[in-house]
Amino acid sequence: MSRPSDSMRTVLDRLAQEDAGLADPTLMPPQHARALSEMTNHRWNLDLPEMAEARTVIHAGMPARWVVPKNDRGTDAILHVHGGGWALCSAMTHEGAARRMAEACACPVLTFDYRLAPDHPFPAGLSDVLSAWRARDPARRWSIGGDSAGANLSLAAMLALIEAGDPLPAAGLLFYGVYGADFDSDSYIRNADGPGLSRAKMMRYWDWYAPETKRGNPLVAPLAAEDAALAALPPLYLNAAELDPLLSDTERLVARLRALGRNDAYDLVPGVVHGFMQMGLALPEARDAFARSGEVFRQITA
């Protein structure tokens, strides 16, 4: 059975101490769960990488953060969609992630506050992502990316653009995403109790976001997309965490892409849990994952 790496275990031990007694956010009223997620993510947004520019803006009517790294190449930009089970987190909880992505990819990152479930279930969040995409600055070449539910929304947005015949991102960066709702997959069973994200939590996030009757829609669960739509996607970079209930989602998506003759870059990061890239302040694997995504991104957009 797989185990956390030494560095991951150190972080997990720290979290067990710092978060002792905190309630499961998926069993709380959403507004309380969001406050908890803001509080617990604050620790990952200290000693942030210094940017050439970092400011709060309004983008497509939504509060957003625009961060520009000192090594900006001047040509590209990334629309980043934060994770949090479609229900939690914000541009501020993912400030550290946005800055590390900006540095790694050598371009600005724009991350924003889309509407959250269960107050605003599907398709509200996806509609906001598409609005943010369509309001992009035409002076730059744009890509899209996100983590977890943000990867789901990023991939769904690309599928929606393909369906509409609209211009696509230059690249997609998809980190440990949720792409289907098969709670009996190998990884859901193997990592049912976490650590961190569990099978039961993920099932409740799904219930908040979309009822079972909508989970056959590719814009809800992108693994339901037809081959032609997947084949039409821009170049992708995907990663997955070994100790994650969602691992099988990425493995299945990668298998389908490979079967279509695509050669999208994919990395399985051993010994880490879901959400590990949020932990860049303390976890070497997170910093390495950003560096790797930047390496692939620069190759794609060269």
Domains annotated on the chain, with CATH: 6-300 (3.40.50.1820)
What mean pLDDT is predicted for residues 42-57? 97
Whether the Cβ atoms of residue 172 and residue 233 lie closer than 8 Å to each other: yes
Burial degree of 31 (CB within 10 A; 0-12, 13-18, 19+): exposed
What mean pLDDT is predicted for residues 219-241? 98
| Tens-place pLDDT, residues 70-129 | 999 999 999 999 999 999 999 999 999 999 999 999 999 999 999 999 999 999 999 999
Whether the Cβ atoms of residue 171 and residue 234 lie closer than 8 Å to each other: yes
pLDDT at position 124: 98
Strand-by-strand arrangement of the 141-147 sheet? 53-59, 62-68, 109-112, 76-81, 141-147, 172-175, 236-243, 265-273
pLDDT at position 2: 84
Whether the Cβ atoms of residue 224 and residue 230 lie closer than 8 Å to each other: no
CA dist 238 and 12 (Å) reads: 24
| Tens-place pLDDT, residues 117-164 | 999 999 999 999 999 999 999 999 999 999 999 999 999 999 999 999
Residue with tokens 């015949």: 165
Of 45, 82, 46, which is closest to residue 63 (Cα–Cα)? 82
196-221 burial code (b ≥16 CB/10 A, e <16): bbbbbbbebbbebbbeeeebebbbbb
pLDDT beyond 90 at 36: yes
Give me the percent of the chain exceeding a pLDDT of 90. Answer: 99
pTM of the model: 0.98
Of 168, 187, 167, which is closest to residue 178 (Cα–Cα)? 187
Rounded mean pLDDT of the chain?
A: 98
pLDDT beyond 90 at 1: no
What mean pLDDT is predicted for residues 215-234? 98
pLDDT at position 194: 95
| Tens-place pLDDT, residues 246-299 | 999 999 999 999 999 999 999 999 999 999 999 999 999 999 999 999 999 999
Which residues does 54 contact at the CB level (< 8 Å), separation at least 6?
A: 65, 66, 67, 68, 99
| Tens-place pLDDT, residues 165-211 | 999 999 999 999 999 999 999 999 999 999 999 999 999 999 999 99
